[in-house]
Structure formats: structure tokens, C-alpha cells
Amino acid sequence: MTSERRAPTEKTRNPFVRFVVLLVTIVAILVTYAFAFQRTDIGLEEVKDEGRRAGLVRIIRGLAKPDIIEYDEETVFHTVDFMTPCPEAGFEPTPPGDPAEPYLEAIPQCADPRDEIRVIGRNFPEGTRAPLSFIPPSGVTLKLADVEADRDGMFDVTVRVPDRAGTEVQELRVTTRERVGSWQLTKSAKDTWEKIIETVMLALVATTIGTIAAIPLSFLSARNLMRAIRTPINSVALFVVGFPIGLLVGRQLGRWVAAVGDRVSDNVPILVAASLGLALGGWWILRATLPEEEAEPPTLGERVLRRLVVAAVAVAGLFVIGFVGHLLREVGGDLEGPLGPFGFLGDFLRVIGDVMVTFLTAIAAVVTGLVVAAIGSRMGHLIADRARPGTVLLARFVFVSLAVAITAAAIGGAVRWLYALQRSSNAMATTAGGAILGLVVGVLTLRFGRRWFPDRLGIIATFLRLILGMVGIAIGIGIGIVLGVAFDALAGVFGADGTIVAPALLGAALGVLGVAATRSVHSLPSGLATYYASRTLFNGIRSVEPLIMAIVFVVWVGIGPFAGSLALALHTTAALAKLYSEQVESILPGPIEAVTATGATRLQTIIYAVVPQIVPPYIAFTLYRWDINVRMSTIIGFAGGGGIGFLLQQNINLLQYRAAAVQMLAIAVVVSTLDFVSARIRERIV
């Protein structure tokens, strides 16, 4: 006898229980939507109002008739003789000249003041609307009524004769405006054309700037590229220490170069000669100092000499940037007038030169800061590779405490500047301590959370980790605030309260404690730290609407398309960096592994394994972002950011709906055209 084992079946739920669950779900949905309706203030009382309906009809009709073309018009008077009161001998008005043309009839042809008469118009164009007036001998216009011709070209109105008795012939007049000549564009259409071109160019500039900034940033926020990067602790610390030092050195260097350029800014021959001389001389020196091939490795002295030469050529490059900027500014300004209709080319050169001169000091500061930071990072690697363990640990105590002290001082200085704090305030130290410890404790609690709440718990684990991380951040902030108060009091003993001394001391102490607690840790996941920092920055920027950004930039650069371009460029940078980075994260890992196996550097891996896979989607995302920026620029204009939105807002506020319809039509046409063009480009390239 054999027995068959039946597969376990899922327990069937009781029908009554299923009915109760379904009923509760439906009730919960209804309650939710009832609450949503209440919070949304949905009601039909205003919808039923006749006045609002009439206003809606007026707006729709106005938008349906965009004010695009117009005709030259002339005023035409259609008159009929009339008298009040009737003369004793009777009155016979002058008959119309051409019965086929528009003319008027008065029935009766004369009447006493305050009597009612009929005025009939014939042969008028259908739909003609015009005022009917009484004209006494004095020439004063007394309006009697508004008339409108029916489909037969006729109107018939009854009016009361004004109290204007006289013995001379008076007139009844209908004043119309008739088209003459051919059609032409209205002022609204011409203004719309100018503004829509401005809008497209505004979006183009914003998209270009945002794309240039987003491409390198996207690699920093790609998890698959940054996850494996780990850096020795001393290297990270020296990078942090070197960057502000380089900023200060670069700022002074930039100011010196700018001062030299200002002295010869109006002497074009000197600017040309200096720019060419420095550029060609620097190129020749680099070719002579850095040979393409070497038979033997360079000695230490040769390496030092080459680095000094590169530094000197870099300084010469700053002079070239400054001189070329002054040259473009001078030449561009001189060309604006002679170029006539193409004067915008001269203005373009002038603006580019002005940008180079204005931001020369900032460029020098940032570049020098990064170079010094990179040198410090390299020194950290050398210490980690060649020094003894005891020396490495001692250096870690010194460099980490100094790096955290600089970071805390920077946080405190930023808080003091941002809130214009008084000297008695301890907010600098408390903010620095809270920020540093909140971040550190939050990261530690999240790491422990991965152990305590494994992934097999699903979404519950994610929720519990989030709560644990928030608790850790709160605890860290609380401890940091307490320590900040204590170190501010300590700094006050030496008369340094209200300065960056307190946060710097607190940072140094936290650095020492951190090194003591992590002796066994030799490197940090700098790649993941960069990834999370960049993604957080992008999310923060994207959370602010471009309209708000435009308001800020309008205060800075003034009302106009420049403010709108800056606002859209900033938002575009964050949005495209996110899209680009997600595309990098989805590439095939095979090419990366193959190129890495050949011993390629990280930069070579990106160039030969990553870039070929991301070019098509990058182009597609960029074109799509241009389309978005064109549509967003209409909203930017409401805040004074230039473009067609400013004109649209003005016409809506003035209730000029026919003019607003022209702008709305132009926006629809441009967006549709861009969508078609971008689709064709994607077909050919992507």
C-alpha cells in the first residue's frame, strides 16, 4: 500500500475575515480622501456663481483669440441729419450718397427734446460694434447707445433725444473703424518673438553651464566608482589641512596677478605681447623640461626642478588668463559699435574677458588649494607606505587633530559670519561640536544598525536603522553642544571667547580622541564619503525650486535673463549630476574589470571603460534638460528672471488675455519644436 504526500497548501482565509478586511480598507480609503477634500477646500459654491462663470467665459474667449496680427485702421463717421425741435416749415435730411454703402435713418427725422426716436443702420458689416452719438452744432459728442449689426448688416435702436434744442441742423453719428492696407504683426506678437528667443537662449546657456559642471561631479556621485576607494587617514588629514592653506596662498597670488593686469589693462599692444610671450615661453619651457621619453629615471633633483618649473608655468598661466581677459574686454568693447547688427559678438568677447578678470582671484585660490591639498594627500600616502608604524601613528595624532581643528574653526567662522554673532555668543563652538559629533555618531550608529538589524528583516530593518541613525545624530549633537559650551568657557579664561579659538581647540581634542579610539583603522572609505556628501548636496539643491533661486539671484545680479540663467544653471547642475551618476551606476562592470586588469589608473579606467558607455545617455539627458529649462524659464520670469514668463505675467496681471494667449501659443510651439528636434538628434546620435 502506498501513500501520497500532498503538497502543503496555503491556509484559506475565512470569507467573513476577508469581507471585514475589504470593508475596513474601503472605509480607510474613503476617510483618507474625505480628509484630503477637506484640506484641499474643495467646494462648488464659487463654481455656481454666475459672475465667476461669466469671468471664466471671458478669459477662455480671450485666450482663444491670440492677438497676433492687426490691420491699420481709419476712423469712419456715418451720419444722418437731424433736428430738435422740428422746424415749422418741416425738415428733410440729406439722402445717403450710395444706398449700397452703410448709412443711417432716423424715424422721425426731427423731434422735440426728450422724445424717443428710432435709429436704423443698414449695410454695415456683420458684427460691427460702434457707439451711436448725438452731435449738436457745438461739436460736442453726446453718446446715446452702443449698436451692433446683425447678420443682415442692420441694427435698430430706440434712443431719447438730448435736450439740445436749436435752429441749426444737428447730426446722429455712428463711429466705426475700418481696415486699410495689409495685415501686420501686433506689438504683442513682436514682443513675444523677442522674449521667446531670449527664453530659448537663456535655457541654452543654463543647460550648457549645468552640463559642464555636472559631468565631472557625476563621477564623484557614482557609487560603483567610489565604493572601492580607500585613503590612508594621514592622507585625508593632510588634504584637509592643505586645502585652506592653498586657498590663502592662491588668493594672494591671484590678487597680485590681478593688480599687475590692472596696471596695463588699457594698453592693448602690451597685453598682446605679454600674453603671447608667456604662453609660448611656458610651452617651450615645459617641452624642454619634461621630455616625452627618458632613458633613465629622473633623479631627486630633477624631479624637484621639474615641479618648480611646472609651478612657475602655472603662475605664468594665471598672468596669461588675466592679460587675455583684459584684452578681450578692451577689444570687445571697441568692436560693439563698428560691427553694427553683429555688435553682440563684441559684447560676447567683452563679457568673456570680464568673467576671466573678475574670477581670476577665485580661480587662483581654488586651483592652488586643490594643488596643495593633492600634495598633502600624496605626502600622506608616502608616510603610510614608507614610515614606521610608530611614526605613522604619531603623525596621525598631529595631522588628524590639526585637520579636525581647521574643520571646526571653519564651521564656527561660517556660523559667525552667517548670523553676525556677538562676541559673547558661544554658538561657534557649540555648532562645530554638534555638527562634527552628530555626523560621527550618526555614521557609527548606522554601521551598528547594519549588524543589529540585518537585511533579511526587509523594510522593517531599514526603518529601524533610520530611527537608530536619527537617535545617534541627536545624541552626538547633544554631546557636541555640551563640549562646545565647555571649550568656549575654557577659551574665555584666556580672553579668547567669541573667536574661532574655542571651536579649534574642541576640534583638536576631538581629533586626538578619534585617533586614540581608532588605532587599528589605517584607512578611511573616502570614496563612499565623497559619494554621500555629493548626493546630499545635489538633493539639497534640487529641493529648492528654481523660482526661489531666481529671487536670490535677482537680488545679486538684478532683474533680467542673467539671473534666470544662473538659477536654472544651478538647478540643472544638481539634476543632471544625479541623472548622470545613476547612468554611470548602471553601466556594465566587464569593461571596467578588463581595463583595470591591465594596470590602468583610475582616470584611464574612466576614460576607456566608463565614458564609451555613457556618451549616448548623457546626450539624451542633456537634450531633455534643455527642453525642461525652456518650460521652467516661463516660471522663472515671474520672479524677474527674464524670458517670456515676465511678459506673460505682465499681461495676465493687466487682464490682457489675448496678448497672454500669444505667449502661451509661442511656448507651446517652441516646446513642441524642441521635442521634435531633440528626438531627431537622439535617433542619429543615441
Determine, yes or no, domain membership for 273: no
Give the total residue count for the chain. Answer: 686
pTM: 0.77
Q: Assign 13 a pLDDT band (cuts: 50, 70, 90).
A: low
Higher pLDDT, 26 or 293: 26
Same domain, 178 and 200: no
pLDDT at residue 428 above 80? yes
Which pLDDT value is given to residue 7?
45
Domain limits at 535? Answer: 50-68+186-230+530-686
Pairing type for strands 155-160 and 231-232 reads unpaired
C-alpha distances out from residue 211 to 347, 568, 587, 594, 644, Å: 24, 11, 20, 29, 23
pLDDT at residue 51 above 60? yes
Same domain, 655 and 560: yes
Total domains in the chain come to 2
* Helices 526-542, 187-220: inter-axial angle, 10-degree rounding: 160
d(CA 536, CA 215): 17
pLDDT at residue 140 above 70? yes
Same domain, 142 and 216: no
Angle CA 673–675–677, to nearest 5: 70
Residue type, 515: V
Give the residue-averaged pLDDT of 490-501: 77
Q: DSSP secondary structure string, 218-271?
A: HHHT-HHHHTT--EEHHHHHHHHHHHHHHHHHHHHHHHHHHHHHHHTTT-HHHH
Determine, yes or no, domain membership for 27: no
Q: CATH number of the domain that 222 lies in?
A: 1.10.3720.10
Same domain, 548 and 562: yes
Same domain, 539 and 682: yes
Sheet containing 155-160: give its strands across.
103-107, 116-122, 155-160
Give 603-660 pLDDT, tens digit per residue. Answer: 788 888 888 888 888 888 888 888 888 888 877 877 777 778 888 888 888 888 888 8
In three-state secondary structure terms, 646 is helix
Omega within 30 of 0 (cis) for the link into 591: no
Same domain, 108 and 60: no
Same domain, 61 and 138: no
pLDDT at residue 11 above 60? no
Give the residue-averaged pLDDT of 341-367: 87
d(CA 534, CA 439): 15
Q: CATH number of the domain that 105 lies in?
A: 2.60.40
Same domain, 117 and 201: no
Q: Are 171 and 135 contacting, i.e. CB atoms less than 8 angstroms apart? A: yes
Average pLDDT, the chain: 84
Give the residue-averaged pLDDT of 124-129: 88
Determine, yes or no, domain membership for 677: yes
d(CA 92, CA 78): 18
Give 268-291 pLDDT, tens digit per residue. Answer: 888 888 888 888 888 888 887 777
Question: How many C-beta atoms surround the C-beta of residue 393 within 10 A?
Answer: 16
